[in-house]
Amino acid sequence: MAKTNAKPYSNLIGGNWKAPNGSTLENHNPADYSEIVGLFPIASLEDTKNAIDAAHSALPAWSRTPAPTRGAILDKASQIITSRIDEIATALTREEGKTLAEAKGEVTRARDIFKYYAGEGWRYSGQVLPSSVNDELLYTRRESLGVVSIITPWNFPIAIPAWKIAPALIYGNTVVFKPAEDAPHTALLLVEALVEAGLPAGVINFLTGDGALIGTEMASNSNVNGISFTGSHSTGTKVYQNAIKNMARVQLEMGGKNGLVILKDANLDLAVKFAIAGGFGLSGQACTATSRVIVEEEIADAFVSALTIATKNLVVGNGLESGVQMGPLVNHDQLETSQSYMTLGQKEGAKLLIGGEVDGQKGYFAQATIFDHVEPTMRIAQEEIFGPVISVIRANGLNDAIEKANAISFGLSAGVVTNNLKDAFAFANQVDAGVVKINEPTTGLALNAPFGGFKGSSANTFKEQGQAAMDFYTRTKTIYVNHG
């Protein structure tokens, strides 16, 4: 699609749709970057302040709205998403690149998240506590935190906004939402569903444009009470430093370098399946992606040969085409990063088994790549690549495997493949990661379970998802009532 035909989209500030005014953010299809899939406003500092003011003004009425009434709006939004799964999933694949099947799975997850939190409107509560004096009622109330800034990455452009926005709204907060520059369209479709579902003006505000300009204000404005951020460690650090100036509450979920450990008794077919799903699903662009496979020496040769054969059969291409199993990377920077690590791995002395090249002629395509004999200290074993690159590290026994799994600065997710219950639980207890998977890929999460990393993967403040989200999005008030 030529630029002149590309559709301009709007921002939402205080209930008013604001069309682009001057230059726009071009949103490209990563499978064919000559196609511009939309033009988005570049919000100014003034727009950002106005959006925060609008959220601030909408807060008293929204926070006093009965939670089941708020839930009814979320439920309606879930129904609207259900009726548009194909449309939203297609938009997602077109701007982000993942396969249509992956996109449909993600949109379905967003729908379920809104349904889950709609129900929370009937359930959440404070506590009644035993009092130490006669005739006293002692209880707590969960109140909304206030205005929350929600800043999200491009790799799950509807699921991550959903798992932040749905709890924010159900617990009575108002929202300023900024998606990543590379995937604003899917985010806009979510906001449109919420508006159509009946969300009052100002309760959600939507801004696109320069992440640093908008994001800095969203983190540092004194009318913002909480910031929930998912993205890279370097950006998260800036968000934290800005938020702390106002003592705003912060939740940061960041990168990963997740290890899947394969013990010598493992079912090899399953181990290969999990490594492929975790390493090459979403083209390796998942925070929980399996970027390291730590395998016991006794079965390492058999494992890498089966893994290489399975990788050879992967169909890479435009995610909108049927049969494609791995889509492109999201943008040119991601392509260059993957290419640089593919080159670095060879320089560092790891053995390249398959892949190692990218093709940026039409879209941002990278080959599924496996390195064997990777040393834990090599940069390809230490740094987040966020591309389809698996580093195989060989280990001698369970303890060595756990030590190698932990020898990184991140701590998001980790997995073990084994039929030995004792080893499985030893791994689960000793591995330094916020999510542990036994006989499952390192990717894939339940929407009702706490999610968050350890070490450099997180600010280690508040968990996301399920009822754990209530701790971030509410404040607790303690009330003493003497009725004697």
287 part of the interface to ligand NAD, by CB under 6 A = yes
Which CB atom, from 93 or from 152, has the smaller least distance to ligand NAD? Answer: 152
The one among 11, 24, 144, 152 contacting ligand NAD by CB under 6 A:
152
d(CA 348, CA 237): 29
The one among 453, 454, 469, 474 contacting ligand NAD by CB under 6 A:
453
209 part of the interface to ligand NAD, by CB under 6 A = no
d(CA 355, CA 387): 12
Beta pairing, strands 389-395 & 369-372: parallel
CB 85 within 8 A of CB 108: yes
444 part of the interface to ligand NAD, by CB under 6 A = no
**Which one of 106, 253, 296, 464 is the catalytic residue?**
253
338 part of the interface to ligand NAD, by CB under 6 A = no
Piece of 68-76, 80-88, 150-158, 198-206 that binds ligand NAD (CB under 6 A): 150-158
Question: Is 181 noted as a catalytic residue in this protein?
Answer: no
d(CA 472, CA 20): 33
CB 90 within 8 A of CB 320: yes
The one among 26, 32, 143, 181 contacting ligand NAD by CB under 6 A:
181
121 part of the interface to ligand NAD, by CB under 6 A = no
Q: Where are the beta strands (DSSP E) in 271-387?
A: 290-296, 351-354, 358-359, 365-366, 369-372
d(CA 218, CA 148): 9
232 part of the interface to ligand NAD, by CB under 6 A = yes
CB 139 within 8 A of CB 128: yes
Closest separation between CB of residue 234 and ligand NAD, Å?
A: 7
DSSP per-residue string spanning 251-285: EEE----EEEEE-TTS-HHHHHHHHHHHHHGGGG-
Closest separation between CB of residue 269 and ligand NAD, Å?
A: 29
Contact partners, residue 32, CB within 8 Å, separation at least 6: 318, 362, 363
Which CB atom, from 144 or from 413, has the smaller least distance to ligand NAD? Answer: 413
**Which one of 287, 296, 384, 464 is the catalytic residue?**
287
d(CA 256, CA 457): 6
341 part of the interface to ligand NAD, by CB under 6 A = no
Which CB atom, from 90 or from 291, has the smaller least distance to ligand NAD? Answer: 291
So which residues are the catalytic ones?
253, 287
What are the residues binding ligand NAD (CB under 6 A)?
151-156, 178, 180-181, 211-212, 215-216, 219, 230-232, 235, 238-239, 253-256, 287, 384, 386, 412, 453, 457
